[in-house]
A and B are shown apart, each in its own frame.
Chain A
Amino acid sequence: MEMKATEQNRRRFFDYLFTLFIVVSLNFALPRLMPGDPFLYLSGDHGEEIARFSTDQIDAYRHQYGLDKPWPAQYAASLFALLRGDLGYSIYYNKEVSTILLNRLPWTLLLVLSAVFFSTVIGCLLGSLSASFRGKALDRLLYPLMIAVAEIPAFLLGLMLLFFLAAGLRLFPLSGAMTHFAGTAGFWHTFVDIAHHAFLPVLTLTMVRTGAMYLLARNAMTTVLARDYVRTARAKGLSTARILARHSLRNAMVPIVTRVFLSLGGLVGGAILVENVFAYPGLGRLMRESVLVHDYPMIQGIFLLVTGAVLSANFLADCIYRRLDPRIGLSTEVQP
């Protein structure tokens, strides 16, 4: 039995390794599939200056960054560099990819993790509440409200918040992650300042995600509450809160946990638009920009980071999933 378990774990580990390899290869290929050249600038955004490079200059740069080599050679070089932990040097930003990522990552993490936390907590609470009061006034009020909030595209919601709360009521700053050039104000002030700036983006992401979590929790809870053992518990006279806490939540957790971890990948996508609305200096903005300018090493670096994060999140989801419902682990082994 134990032997089998370790062997299975090893197999799963190799599965993840294989996925990682495929993804790394795709990361290499995808940006290069895009038509266009990182050094070719013919047009600018409205009113924006561009530097024109001559053919000589472009060739010189392509050589400097090894882009004149055939694809297999570039691929091998990038794989070896990756094994050494070297993500390369950004063509557009003129800095090590890893440094840029490290500088940006905390900001995105701040937004995404806060949003995941708040949305999960609020969504689950409201969802369970709605499920236990199903069909009552509270549920009837919450349900359409949450659906409506969940369905408003994040960027539009963000713009709305920006306009009403930041521009109209002037409650929040318009953009950025902190006040610049304000002098040294001490740790506490900086903290408040950062929270103040992060509030609207986090609120936007939270509101958008809460709807989905709410629906999921409500759905799961309803299903669980309709089960025999819950009815038995009810018949025994246990209170709703107790039933919720003891019996239902644990069983409803499986899809919720799966969803929380699955949603991490999507959040970065959603964050792209929201970070742009609030001019927030996270990975989303970086990603949009580097795709726009075809900065291959940078795109690869971001893809890899996001991929790695999601892969490990999935792995975690898998493990938790097994702990919550231990029968699953056994069943896969029993299967021929």
Chain B
Amino acid sequence: MNGLEMTYPATRRSLPLWHMLSGSGKLALLILLLMAGVALAAPLLCRHSHRIASGPALAAPSLVHPMGTDELGVDLWAQIAYGARISLLVGAATALLAGVGGAAVGIVSGYQGGLADRLTMRLIDILLVLPDLPVMIVLAAFFGPSVTTIIVVLAAFSWTATARIIRSRVLILKERRYIKAAELYGAGTLYLLRRHFLPEIFPLAAVGMIRLAGRAIVAEAGLSFLGLGDPTSRSWGLIMHHALSFKGIYYTDFWKWWLVFPWLALTLVVTSLALLGRDLEKLADPRIGRS
């Protein structure tokens, strides 16, 4: 077992990431890169403004407006391209904040135990039992809705799941014989962390973070759907919110572009994230990868 683990990192280093991915993973990565590219190059890719009306209201997709226009006559393709910036930013920032924070808290509280653990668990309990949606409404009312507020609030509410699950894993790991043995032989905390805990925990944290990113994007869309997002941000969720609050949207043809394109963009990104997460999970946990 030890021997296997020793050889594995060598293979990992020798192969570029791309070749380690499965077909779906490659596709997912391509989609994500494409979206990121669209987000970055939005000003170059769009002929029309994403804020100001540039055509008739609710025009169907055409050569001039590849994705049609909304009820104010604003080009939807431009809105979606600029919206990618918001969604990707929210996803990445929240996942990073909550994933790293949650993992750190989980390891510390699981490994240290004692007072630190008790305090963390109480804090997690408090955060977990507070109904998040109303609290978000309150916070949004208090701080004013902005992308930063949404990222911070989402992160503040989503780190707990990662932390708890990682803590429970650390608690189990701590009981493993080889770790007890290593402790007996005088292994330092840092060594234990690096050699034994992190490799075991990384897959959980990575999957957790990828999921967090996806969920943060969905949560932002959900908040915007309720009309609590940043109204000036023009995120995908907000486009859908506007479309859905258009009365009788389902009985007209408008939803075929107004709702479907942002929905598609959102689903594509979120599913790609999940598929990529699967591959990363395989890469991160050598035993899963091989069996």
Contact = CB atoms under 8 A, between A and B. Distances in A.
B175 A327 contact: yes
Contacts of A43: none
Contact of B267 (A144, A148, A225): A148
A15 B118 contact: yes
Contacts of B58: none
A147 B222 contact: no
A287 B134 contact: yes
Interface string B252-291: 0000000000010001001100110010010001011001
A128 to B, nearest CB: 15
B283 to A, nearest CB: 14
Given A219-B207, A262-B161, A265-B129, A15 B122 contact: yes
B119 to A, nearest CB: 10
Interface stretch (A57-65, A84-92, A107-115, A151-159): A151-159
Given A151-B267, A331-B174, A268 B131 contact: yes
Contacts of B240: 156
The CB with the most chain A CB atoms within 10 A, among B125, B130, B275, is that of B125
A226 B281 CA distance: 14
Interface stretch (A74-82, A95-103, A199-207, A303-311): A303-311
Contacts, number: 140
Nearest to A325: B172
Contacts of B281: 219
A299 interface: yes
Nearest to A272: B133
A294 B288 CA distance: 51
A223 B201 CA distance: 12
B133 A19 contact: no
Interface residues of A, number: 63
A161 interface: no
A151 B129 contact: no
A284 B116 CA distance: 35
A273 to B, nearest CB: 7
Nearest to B278: A143
B24 interface: yes
A299 B171 contact: no
B274 A303 contact: no
Contact of B24 (A31, A144, A163): A144
A73 interface: no
Interface stretch (A119-127, A175-183, A252-260): A252-260
A151 B133 CA distance: 18
B46 interface: no
Given A147-B271, A147-B278, A151-B274, A266 B122 contact: no
A155 B240 CA distance: 12
Interface residues of B, number: 56
A153 B218 contact: yes
B142 A34 contact: yes
A23 interface: yes
Contacts of A255: 165, 168-169
Interface in B114-153: 114, 117-118, 121-122, 125-126, 128-135, 137-138, 141-142
Interface of A: 15-16, 18-19, 22-23, 26, 30-31, 33-36, 134, 143-144, 147-148, 150-153, 155-156, 159, 163, 167, 215, 219, 222-223, 225-226, 228, 254-255, 258-259, 262, 265-266, 268-269, 272-273, 287, 291, 299, 302-303, 306-307, 310-311, 314, 321, 325, 327-328, 331-332, 335-336
Interface of B: 1, 24, 113-114, 117-118, 121-122, 125-126, 128-135, 137-138, 141-142, 161, 164-165, 168-169, 171-172, 174-175, 203-204, 207, 211, 214, 218, 221-222, 225-226, 240, 244, 250, 263, 267, 270-271, 274-275, 278, 281, 285, 287-288, 291
30 contacts: A15-B121, A16-B125, A26-B126, A30-B134, A30-B138, A31-B138, A147-B271, A147-B275, A150-B274, A155-B222, A155-B225, A156-B263, A167-B250, A219-B203, A219-B204, A222-B291, A225-B291, A226-B287, A226-B291, A254-B172, A258-B168, A259-B165, A268-B131, A269-B133, A303-B134, A311-B125, A321-B168, A328-B175, A331-B175, A335-B113
